Each structure stands twice: as structure tokens, then as C-alpha cells.
Amino acid sequence: MRSVGLGPTLPRPDAPVADAVWWIDPMMTHGSPTLDLSYRIVHELPGRLRLRIPALGAPGFDPDDLEDWMDPLGVVTSARASCGARSLVVVYRESAGARDSVLRRLDAYSARIEPGSAGGGSREAEIAPMVTAAATIALLPFLSRPLQVALTVANVASTLGTGAETLIRKGIKVEVLDALAIGLSAARGELYTANITDFLLALGNFLERRTERQSDRLLRKLLRPEPAMAWVERDGELTQIPGDQVMPGEVVVVGTGETIPVDGRVVGGSALVNQAAVTGEDVPVRKEAPRRAVSGSVLIEGQLRIEATQVGAETTTARISRFIQESLDKRSDTQREADRLADQRVYLTLGTGAVVYGVTRNLTRLQSVFLVDYSCALKLGTPVAFKSGMYQAAAHGVLMKGGEAIEHLAGVDTIVFDKTGTLTHSELAVTDVVVLRKQAGCTETALLALVASVEEHASHPVANAVVEAARSRDLQHISHGEVDYLVAHGLSAEVEGEHILVGSRHYLEEHRGIAFEEHAEQIARLEDEGKILLFVGNGHGPVGLIALRDTLRAETRETLDRLRAQGIRRLVMITGDRRQKAEALARELNLDAFYAEVAPEEKADLIARFQADGSRVAFVGDGVNDGPALVAADVGIAMPRGADIARATADILLMDDRLGAVADAREIATKTMALIRGNFRAAIGINTGILAGAIGGALSPVASALLHNGTTIGILFNALKGVRLDGETDGSMSARLAQIKDIVRR
């Protein structure tokens, strides 16, 4: 037995997990009413648990919330709650510690429920109207006429009441038309028609709400923060505490099957980590020092010691969760236009019905016309498609701030890249080691070893790149005397009796009197190639050059080609580098334009100039000084290693340090908008056909309701299914298609 209060606790050593029963300790609820959140394992197979949870049958408990809670756990493949059986079935991938992780996850759910604050029993509330209508239809043949009328009135009263309330509060909406159609059938004594129509409307509403909620669930399921417990090294011992209580700088130990509770840096151990819940990567990755670890990831095998850098509300999963929640509340121009057109078509339907009745005096045709509803497919299909696109993007490492970001990205024709950290990696790399003065023992290897031995005392990016180049070649350290460092110029040291100078050309020539003029041709060639030069000299004159360059991302050229193929008219680079260097890179990448030696405050002005020419601009950046440009652009895209201000002001965040994600995002955006337009045309075309059939008397009210709801459900299903990237295989989409099929089963 274990006692659970308002926070997760540890199992007693003498309590086997398999026999555990959980409950809320009544002494810890402070007198507030609460649900019985105990459970017990009633059946178990390898990779599958069935648990009995009495609370699932209680009023006010939302089974969807429990399923949502279990889904993000890395080892869980499916979770299904049954209110009737008061049970939860969890299917998970077998691995060491996976079973215990499932039970701990359920414990965390119990701990997060505040007394009296469980969900609203939404599933039962949605199903009840269908059950009532179906029972009414089944009973009608066995009742007398007065009882049939009474039962029908009781069954359709809710629909009629909703219509009247909508008319008073909101005006003429689709609920008013539904109430009129059903009310007319009942008033004319067409009891079967009234009840069957009411059942079809209830069924359609149920499926529409479930589908819309599932589009939200797909996102929250992917990105919900994991309330993991953490084993922390304190005073030489391991102590388990809630993950949000870990302090920055503390070392957390994570074992097989456990969830990483913090963002941090690996300082020990080696492990295979599943990051799917955070980055969408299907393939586990190996982590070891000094790689970065992300909260919400699950260890498949091995053990890690992680120094916490961001904890609690500052972890990746917590920030992403807030980002997504804010995104769900944002409405795009397309959504607002869909709502406007949907409302217009309610009046169209009402007016058409009035004309039909005026001409034919046929109430049956009037009922059929009133049951044709454009608004559901238009109003629901658009946001569901946007949310599906957001989910698809997140699964490919891209976070979009709502439908507006998708809409705007689909419409851009110009993409402006800040060079460093986007087209190139932020780190420099040594490309050339040039010996200028031949002397005994002075080879390229010896020169690199010499400069690295001196530069290791500096901390700037150039020095780091030189030292890393020497390490990668296993070059030995060369002993030297004390190093003198002149900020922003260079440094010097005594090496084997020689005074070695390393730094900028200006430093060596102007301050030290070492002329490099006779090597001007070699220097010009390297600078024309866009490389940074480190000059080396001694008391006898120039010794050598070390050339460095930003590391061009391997996928940069392919990404730019993909963007052109997707209809991007102009690709532009902005950089603070010298014109010569920027021009070399622009030629190499075949860019349409470049702007060099740009001050940070000028970036936003350049964006505004493009927009003044009628261009719709996306800006990709990652720095503190990119914030104004990200805001000024029609769409701001922030790289994953970007500064906090860049990430806060961007419309789109890349979760993976991969430039190809920009092309993925653009492709998803354009296909999502195409899907919305296709669904819009289908909704208008099909419902217009149904309306024509109703006007002509070819469709009864029941047939009209059936066809309309079938159309709406089909459009919603198509919107939820979403889009697929070019080249994406059936296998890579199998998980998402399985989720869609699960909706149908429910």
C-alpha cells in the first residue's frame, strides 16, 4: 500500500508495485470533496496493463484527460479509458523500467488533481443525447400515440431549447435552423422523422466535437510537460524529489526507463534516449558528455548524470507547452473569413427555405432545406486543418504560433537569412594553414600546433577553432613562456627562444612592424574566398597564415533549392561580415541578393524596404539583435539555438538545429492552405448539391440531415488527416495515421 497526497511520493520498500493500490489520503484534502483516485491492476500481459480505477465511473471525471495524461510517456503506445468498465488499458513498449514508469505516470496524475477540480465528464455528456434519441426511436413502436408524442417532446426539448437560446443570445445561427426543422416535424406529427433527425444531429455534433478536440489533443499529446521525479546528488547521496524542485547547477541521475526532468548538460554516463515527445525524432539518439539533454526525453537504455541548466517552468517542454497553448487561441484571417462566410450561409439557407415554402407551400421541403448547414464544415474544418498542420510541423521539428503563422508562411515570396547560425553554423573551422617563410621544421602541422598552444589561453571563437583543429589532428602541445594578450588585437609568447606573435594583420603590421605586403596575393585569394585570417610572425618577419571560415551547413544548398521549387521568388542574406566575405558566400549559394556590413539596427529597415516593394517576407535568424527583424517580417523564424528574445518574438520556432526545417515548414504551410481551400470548395459544392435536392423535393428531412452530417464529418476527417511532406513514406506516417484511425474507432 502507498499513500498519495497532493504530490508524488516514493513507494515503500516493502510494497511490490504489481500489488499496489493507490488512493488520496483524506487527511490531506483539507476537508474539500475529492474523487477516489485509487487503482489496482486487474490483468497484465507483457507490454499491456489493465487497471481498475473507480473514479472513471464517477460524475465529473473526464476520461479523455486521463488518456491525454498517459499518452506523452515515451514508452506508452496507447492508453484507453472505459467509464463503463471503470478501467484503463495501457499498451507500452517493453524495456527495463517501462512498467514502473507507467505506474509512476499514473501516480503523477493522481497527485496533480486538485480536490473538486476534475474534468466535466465530457464524454458522457456528449454521448447522452445520442443514447436518449436512439432509445426514443426504439420505444416508439410499443407506445400509444399520446405517449409517443410525450416521449418525442421530451427527447427534442433540448434541441428546441438550444435553438431558442441561440436565437435570443446570438441571433440566427445553425442551431436555430435545426430547431425549426425538428420542431416542424414534431408539430406535424412526424414523430419518427423528428426523432431520427435529432439522433443524426446529435451524432454529427458528437463526431464534430470529438474530431475538433482530437486536433488539440494531437498537439498537447506531443508536447505536454512531463512531471517527472528526479534523483539528485545532494551531500554525496541520491535524493528523489519532484522535477520542478531541482535547482540549476545540481546533478541529476537518470536511469533506464526514466524521464529526463530538466534541461541540462551531460556530465557523465552514456545512454540511448528517445526524444520523440519533444523533438519528434523517431529514432533514439545516443547521449554522452558534453551533449545537451532535453527535459521530457526518455532513456531507453543506459544511465546519465546531467547538470541542470534550466528547471521547472524554464525547461524546454514547459516553454513549448505554453507556446502551443497560446498558439491554439490565435485565429488567422482565413479562420475569420470562414466564420464570416459560414454565418452568411445560414441566412442563405433561411432565405432559400422561405422562398421554397412561399412557392410550394410544402413544409417537408422547408424542413429539408433547413437541415442543410454550410457553417459546420466551414467553421470547424479550417481550425482543425490548421491544428493538424501545426501537429505535422511539430512532428518535423517546427513549432508554429497558430494558424496565422501557417497562413503567412504559405504566402511569402521572399526569405531573408541572417548568415551566422542559419546558413552557417555559429562555430568557425580552420580551412587552411599556410607557411609563408620556409625554415627548418616549419611545416603546416608544426605551425598549427604552435599557434594552438598559444591560442588555448584565449577564449574567443577564433582561438577555440584553432585549438579544436589541433585536437582533431592529435597534435602535441608545445611548451612556451608567459602569454601576453592584447584585447581585440592578438597575443604573443616566447617559444624556444623565439618571440611568436599571433593576431590581426593590423596588430602585426602597425604595432609590431611585421610586413605582409609581399604575400598580398595569397592573402587576397583567401579573403576572396570569404575566409577570416589569423596572421603569425616572429622577430624575423612573417611566419604563416591560418584561414578560418564559418562552417556552411551541409543541408544549406539543398534547402535553398527546395525553397525555390516551392515558389520562393527571392533568397537574400544579411550579415555583418565584410562585403568581400559575404559576396563569396552569396556566389557559392547562388543567392539573389546579399547585404554586408549591416548593423543590427539596420536589419528591420531592410525588411521594411522589401515589404514596401510589395514583397511578403520571412526572416530567419537566431541572435539577440535579430528581434526587431523577426517582428518586422511577415513571418519571423527563429533557429533553435537562438537567443531568448529571438525565440520570443518569432512566429515560428525550429526545434531541431536543421536548416531543412525551414523548407519543411514552408511545404507544410502551403499544403495546409491548399487543403483548407480544397475543403472549403468541397463544403460549398456538396452542400449546394444537397440544398438543390432539398429544394426539388428529392431529399427528405432525414436524408438531408444524413448527407449534410456525413459531408461535415468527411471534411473534418480530411482536415485532421492533414498533409504529408514530399518523400515522406507510409512508414514514417504510420504513427499519425494510427492516431487518426483511433478516432474512428472511438
DSSP 8-state assignment for residue 6: S
Distance CA(93)–CA(646), nearest Å, equals 38
Whether the CB-CB separation of 178 and 698 falls below 8 Å is answered with no
**Judging by DSSP bridges, how do beta strands 498-503 and 490-495 pair with one another?**
antiparallel
d(C-alpha 32, C-alpha 116), whole Å: 7
Residue type, 284: P
3-state secondary structure 236-260: CEEEEEEHHHCCCCCEEEECCCCEC
DSSP percent split of the chain into helix, strand, coil, nearest 5: 50, 20, 30
Q: Phi/psi at 71 (nearest 5 deg)?
A: -55, -40
As given in the structure block, the three cell numbers for residue 683 are 463544403
Give me the torsion for CA of 660, 665, 668, 669, rounded to 10°.
Answer: -150
Residue 71 bears catalytic tag: no
Distance of alpha carbon 233 from alpha carbon 253, whole angstroms: 7
- Residues 681-687: contacts with CB under 8 Å, at least 24 apart: 682/377, 682/711, 682/715, 683/374, 683/377, 683/378, 683/381, 683/711, 683/712, 683/715, 684/374, 686/711, 687/372, 687/373, 687/374, 687/377, 687/711
What is the chain's Cα-based Rg? 33
Whether 57 contacts 121, CB under 8 Å: no
Of 650, 660, 723, give the one whose Cα is nearest residue 389: 723
Distance CA(629)–CA(601), nearest Å, equals 9
Closest CA to 26 of 59, 51, 3, 46: 3
Residues 4, 106 contacting (CB under 8 angstroms): no
C-alpha distances in angstroms, 623 versus 399, 421, 630, 647? 18, 8, 10, 9
> Alpha carbon 740 to chain centroid distance?
18
Distance CA 615, CA 612 (A): 7
User: Angle at Cα 53 formed by Cα 106 and Cα 47, nearest 5°?
Assistant: 55
Spot the catalytic one: 373, 418, 622, 664. Answer: 418
User: Catalytic residues, which ones?
Assistant: 418
